[in-house]
A = this chain, B = another copy of it.
Amino acid sequence: MVHECKSKRTVETALEILVGKWKPVILFHLIDQGTLRFSELQRLIPDVTKKMLTTQLRELEYHDIINRKVYAQIPPKVEYSITEYGEGLKPVLLSMHEWGLTHLDHLDDLYGESQETIEK
């Protein structure tokens, strides 16, 4: 049971950080690969625009979930990675992932919805 002693805003606080159309995918890739450049993220997430990628990364950075490392080079090079603090989100993402798997099965059961399978 969720205990309420401190504040009711804890779940919302976690959501605040996770919510954003591209944040889960970004975190997924950074957790998976460790460190990625801006352009690598762009390639891994084909539908994201530069603008959205930038804003989502900035928000994650603002919350100290990811690191942004700029190399003083031309052309520029910027690397993103999960912070130690951000690692703490893994259990959250994992439980959501687990639940998502079940939910997709549930949907399959209900509507026979076919879910795209993405290979590595």
Residues of chain A whose beta carbon lies under 8 Å from any beta carbon of chain B = 1-2, 4-15, 17-19, 24-25, 28, 31-32, 64, 85, 88-104, 106, 110, 115-118, 120
Contact = CB atoms under 8 A, between A and B. Distances in A.
A15 B19 contact: yes
A109 to B, nearest CB: 10
B97 A2 contact: yes
A91 to B, nearest CB: 5
B94 A6 contact: no
The number of times this chain is found in the oligomer is 2
Given A4-B32, A9-B116, 12 more contacts: A2-B28, A2-B31, A6-B101, A7-B115, A8-B118, A10-B99, A12-B25, A14-B96, A14-B97, A88-B102, A91-B95, A92-B99
A18, A31, A99: which has the most chain B beta carbons within 10 Å? A99
B92 A96 contact: yes
B11 A96 contact: yes
A86 to B, nearest CB: 11
